[in-house]
Amino acid sequence: MVVSDLSEGFSSGDEGGDGDELLAEPMRGVRNGALPPFVNKLYNVVCNKETDSIISWVPNLDISDGAKSFAIWNIDEFINNVLPLMSKSKNFDSFITQLNNYGFKKMSWDCREYAHEWFQEGKPHLLKNVKRRRKQTISESEKLHREIKRFENASKEQDNELNVFKAYIDNTISNQKRILQTMARAIKSTIDHHHQVRKMHGVENNNDATQNSTLAGQQSHKRKVLSESSFAPSCEIQAEDKSAKNTTENN
């Protein structure tokens, strides 16, 4: 009894319709119905020469061997004209998911090229080895271990972030201290300069006052000398005049 894998996204309701035309001829080397429908239809679509401009095998550099990868050359044409042959849905993301489920790998970022070690041109008998990946059953201890690992990684990331933030704070404080020290030195220098200027002005003012006092004393002395020297002759003249007057009156 042959059982097909009908549990995939491109099975059951998605199968049938126009896509059955691609399965009109049984694949040589493979018992009809022994392959998962998705793999069977994909192989027929890639081999279909009528759609080579949309999806086809990628030529192998080794001419003696067949192609080992296929590429989707026109994504819009593939979604609108080819994908409906494989499924009733035109959901390209579901198609990519199916490729991943069966172990296909993307070979190039320049174009949508995919490959599988058992999916090769001219070797349909290898398709029986293309298996759908089964979900791995994770034990409770494994789940717990993964959670612990996740928390440890999260803790390390937080520690790294805290260290970076602490370094930033320390650097900021250090810069602020340098700025404050520079400002303090500048203020002190300004104050010292101001004191020196005031001191210099005070010395000059004292010198000016001393000079002014000396000049005033000299001027006062001169006036005193002058007044004394002019007062004596005047008194003598007046005394002589008075004596002469008295003599005249007596005569």
> Left (φ > 0), alpha (ψ -120 to 50) or beta: where does 29 sit?
left
pTM, whole model, 2 decimals? 0.45
Cα–Cα distance for residue pair 15/27, rounded to 1 Å? 18
More confidently predicted of 234 and 29: 234
Cα–Cα distance for residue pair 93/132, rounded to 1 Å? 17
CATH 3.30.450.20 fits 12-129, yes or no: no
Average pLDDT for residues 195-205, to the nearest whole number? 78
The most confident of the ranges 7-21, 59-73, 75-89 is: 75-89
Range with the lowest mean pLDDT among 17-26, 31-40, 51-60?
17-26
Phi and psi at residue 71, to the nearest 5°: -140, 150
Q: Is the pLDDT of residue 82 over 70?
A: yes
Cα–Cα distance for residue pair 127/38, rounded to 1 Å? 11
pLDDT band at 104 (very low <50, low <70, confident <90, very high): very high
- C-alpha distances (whole Å) from 6 to each of 30, 98, 151, 198 are 18, 13, 39, 102
Query: Interior CA angle at 187 toward 186 and 193, to 5°?
Result: 90
- C-alpha distances (whole Å) from 121 to each of 46, 124, 127, 162 are 9, 7, 10, 56
Closest C-alpha among 21, 152, 38, 30 to residue 89: 38
pLDDT tens across 212-243, in order? 677 777 777 667 656 655 545 555 556 566 66
Cα–Cα distance for residue pair 30/14, rounded to 1 Å? 23
